[in-house]
A and B are shown apart, each in its own frame.
Chain A
């Protein structure tokens, strides 16, 4: 009770009681202590001489990185095309698998709460927990280096994303509309098609485009582990310390990401 009557009967107001105040201060103290401790750990692993040297290193790096090697762009168009294809095809794959999974996972559409739902939820969690680069790392070992590993990595990571957001959207639909369609005597599939799908369509389109946009960014680095796309050139350029080429690649990535972000914003705007 923040309102306390003091000795002479006058009421005193405080935001928190003294105990709550102490708890709050203690919480802040614990947070700060934890952060300091963690930083201490990191600091122990750091060679600080390198860090103090960083401004010089950065200047040196910039010096070597500019001007970009513009002519190198000619060798990059193909890689960029591959990158975009990895993102797009991966997204398509993820939609194909993620959508049914979402319907299995949503409380109001799942055929079985005991069986199908936990399996669907597990697929979603497993897919989301593993970064697409780790997926790529594993898939490259299985399928060998190349775009296939990249597409599958993007697809596997995106299933969870699309599945999770879509099943949340399905669970949030207006039940009365579904009831109304059911009341007409529609069958299960008809209820799905007329009562539920129209309601989640905008969310679905938004989620897909959003994920595609994210996937473009992710696809640019998959090449670092050999899964195709422009990351392969990036890796090669870094390994040979060809910094003007790195700059060129980064400029190209920047351009592509800006275009894809603009495109996805346009599409989402058109849908909603």
Chain B
């Protein structure tokens, strides 16, 4: 469904962040993107919704060629891609409900959004999703009054409000504790499965990636160096992605902490063939 071909990004500073990356993400697949800091993970997902302008290459979402869109069409296309951010990126001085409704900005006109007159269906959907993530009692709390895990759940709801086909997830657990990290990852995966969404998840925690994603893509210095099912992630592979280190503990840890059945494990082997 998402097809990336020959994607290259060179920043104005001259740094080559992505070098001829080609990638296909089929409908409904959850893919984890791993790699060291500066490998280009963030740049890659920001190129998809063009928060960062690619230097070369094409990106297609379904029938739409994202890289060829003008301003208005790009905004319409962005509605189809929900983004979840590292550090949540909630508008802190707005309430939970306003943050959630900001997911509908691409659908309503300026004055409607200015006076907060959203269609009733949007508000019902917001209540439903907030109840789904267990935050329906905090509707009118200001976003900066929430804990990290709660904020990220609001961030997830905001992305889902866009009624997207694809989730772009940037380091969702970077500032969360291990338990909350797992809860958030599980929530993202569950919601993606419920709605049949494809997802690209940037993550630096290899254990979490293995535990939750069906497919793993490893990025090193702007190039894809690994693409396969989580089970194929061997110490040798990790060495090509990250460099020399003792990886045995990392991989075992992922298998050990897996006390509750991750939804992804079964699907992993099937999807790996893509």
The reply, when asked whether chain A contacts chain B directly with Cβ atoms under 8 A, is yes
Instruction: List chain A positions with a Cβ less than 8 A from chain B.
Output: 1-3, 10-15
Scoring B residues 148 to 171 as 1 if CB is less than 8 Å from chain A, else 0, what string do you get?
Answer: 000000000000000000000000
Q: How far, in whole Å, are A50 and B87 apart by their CA atoms in the complex?
A: 59
Q: 20 A-B contacts, Cβ less than 8 Å apart?
A: A1-B140, A2-B97, A2-B139, A2-B140, A3-B139, A3-B140, A10-B124, A11-B123, A11-B124, A11-B127, A12-B120, A12-B123, A13-B97, A13-B123, A13-B126, A13-B127, A13-B139, A14-B116, A15-B98, A15-B116
- Interface range, B side: 10 to 19
- For residues 90 through 112 of chain B, which have their beta carbon under 8 Å from a beta carbon of chain A? 97-98
**Smallest CB separation, B245 vs chain A (Å):** 41
Instruction: List chain B positions with a Cβ less than 8 A from chain A.
Output: 97-98, 116, 120, 123-124, 126-127, 139-140
Total of A-B residue pairs, C-beta within 8 Å: 20
Question: Which of A2, A13, A15 has the most chain B CB atoms closer than 10 A to its own CB?
Answer: A13
Q: How far, in whole Å, are A14 and B116 apart by their CA atoms in the complex?
A: 7
Which chain A residues lie closer than 8 Å to B139 at the CB level? 2-3, 13
Q: Which residue of B lies closest to A1 (CB)?
A: B140
* Extra 13 A-B pairs, beta carbons < 8 Å, given A10-B124, A11-B124: A1-B140, A2-B97, A2-B139, A2-B140, A3-B139, A11-B123, A11-B127, A12-B123, A13-B97, A13-B127, A13-B139, A14-B116, A15-B98
Q: How far, in whole Å, are A3 and B126 apart by their CA atoms in the complex?
A: 12
Which chain B residues lie closer than 8 Å to A15 at the CB level? 98, 116
Q: Which residue of A lies closest to B136 (CB)?
A: A11
Which chain A residues lie closer than 8 Å to B140 at the CB level? 1-3
Which chain A residues lie closer than 8 Å to B123 at the CB level? 11-13
**Smallest CB separation, B42 vs chain A (Å):** 31
Which chain B residues lie closer than 8 Å to A12 at the CB level? 120, 123
**Smallest CB separation, B120 vs chain A (Å):** 7
Which chain B residues lie closer than 8 Å to A2 at the CB level? 97, 139-140
Q: How far, in whole Å, are A249 and B46 apart by their CA atoms in the complex?
A: 54
Which chain A residues lie closer than 8 Å to B116 at the CB level? 14-15
Which chain B residues lie closer than 8 Å to A1 at the CB level? 140
Which chain A residues lie closer than 8 Å to B127 at the CB level? 11, 13
